[in-house]
Structure 1
């Protein structure tokens, strides 16, 4: 069957563009006048829906896209408009719509559409399940690492936290500087002002021997649970994950 007027399908309903029908009926009056004269007896939202379409027009040697008012019509409304035109072309187009409806309501076509809908719903369900699985995996990964943090109440040295990310202590300290957590003052890593006084770090003394063999005491920085959570959140915002959350690590 030759296509006289383009038919679209939305929500398992056949629809016709009012502008396409207007052109197909080869009417002489303006489109807007035709609409105002013929649409009063129909109900918007039931028989037709207002939409806008894009059209390209020449403008100063170039092409400009303009919005045009259009309407999506049900097949029943389109058939009535064909009758209201009282033209031979109207009769021809109406017969075309009747044939379109007949084919649409054929039992075999109904079964095909039903199968296609089920296939689409099945595909959509698979996508939703896949997305849910990914979200759940991400949530579990985050919970796993946070459980590691929360399950270790003791403060840890930077070397121990660095190992969670596959870094050496030296390079991890540089990374924390790069992301704006700490900076070096007189050879010692110090938190930036925004993070000071929030119980992110603590210090522990350790004893060592100097070059003369004398015992000496120094202070070393250790990260609390809150501090390790800070590191995790800041690095995650910079797309840097601990090894336990990385997909490329088996």
Structure 2
């Protein structure tokens, strides 16, 4: 049959857009009210249809729905028009072709397996077993590293931002800049380059007083990184972890 309206692939199942069906059936009422009435016949959201919002030409979301072929067939019958009968037959034919294609695919697989020799089948099984054993060996190889890293980020101690930058393979100034841009560190003022309160658990801030040549004193702050903060920074900035360094004194 010629394609009367586009068929959608909805998680491997055939479906049609509600507005395409509404247009083909030449329904005089607006789509939104018409679809609400159709749903009133007992169709269930999430089972028979799902909402599908798309931008209209005016830029605002326009209501649409992904409708299962079973629901589309019933809606077509409800219309009691020639267009409804035509749509229903079209959906039945679409389902028939999909089933034929699926059956043909299954038969092809069976045919290929039937033509394989016993040694070929055994070889495939052996290859699969070798891959499984290789994956298991790789997992066991990584276990000690994973445990060591977990112990490291849960340990006590603190690290300077410069040391963390070395671990992560970037410069100290760049790390400060990236953390400010990511909204982790304060960007301006007397608390610049110290973490915001919501991230404080991953850091430690120490205040110290400096005396200027004029005799005036001012308070400065130094940010240190907790072990858990290293993994937090790595994930936050999308960086690769490097071998851990000893903690700061």
TM-score normalised by the chain length of structure 1: 0.45
Structure index of larger Rg:
1
TM-score normalised by the chain length of structure 2: 0.45
